[in-house]
Amino acid sequence: MFTNQSNLDFSYSPESPCIDSGDPEIIDPDGTVSDIGANYFSQEISYSMNIMEGWNLIGLSVSTDNSYYDELFENSIENSLFYFNEDGVYTAVDNLQPGYGYWLRFELPFNANISGQVINSLTVNLVEGWNLISGISNSITLDLIMDPENLIIPSTLFRYDGNYTDTETIDPGYGYWLRSNGTGQIILNY
């Protein structure tokens, strides 16, 4: 790796063992995965979602520069993205934020492909009562959610696929109803 140690020359060649070495499991402060290598470790991914005609519960499970709903979901109906705010009121919005769930309406069923930087850890704010949330870039089960204040009421995680279905798994890209017995935070980690 070092060509001239006395001059602090830390150049390396493409064959160097320091490039992308190690196991990327640690989260950097910017939310990306660190590795032991000398190069930046990009974690751009894509996930696919089955969108049905009508209303869908969706979420954003990647970090992206453009979170405008019509760019992410080109077949959506204009002005039909709604967020359930902390006061229990539906509010029309234009951009999606990771951790929040949304209702979005579509004219036809299709397969949506969403791309962006991986989110492996996410803090989600909850209020007492029902919350509309979304997850991280990987599917996680309810038992992997860090809930230090025991806010999550058991058996109250629901997805929507034309009907409400209770579930134990939060999949990327979808929104979920979750009931909390108080105000606080939960942490989703992969």
Give the model confidence (pLDDT) of 40-69 as tens digits: 566 899 999 999 999 999 999 999 999 999
| DSSP letter assigned to residue 178 | E
Residue 88 tokens read as 């229990």
Give the model confidence (pLDDT) of 73-89 as tens digits: 989 999 999 999 999 99
Instruction: Give the C-alpha distances (Å, rounded to integers) separating 129 from 45, 54, 86, 122, 179.
Output: 33, 26, 9, 20, 5
Q: What is the SS3 assignment for 72?
A: helix
pLDDT band of residue 30 (cuts 50, 70, 90) is low
Query: In this predicted structure, what is the pLDDT of residue 149?
Result: 97
User: Residues 6 or more apart from 181 whose CB is under 8 A from it?
Assistant: 128, 150, 151, 153
State pTM to two decimals.
Answer: 0.79
- For residue 81, the one-letter residue type is L
Query: In this predicted structure, what is the pLDDT of residue 125?
Result: 97
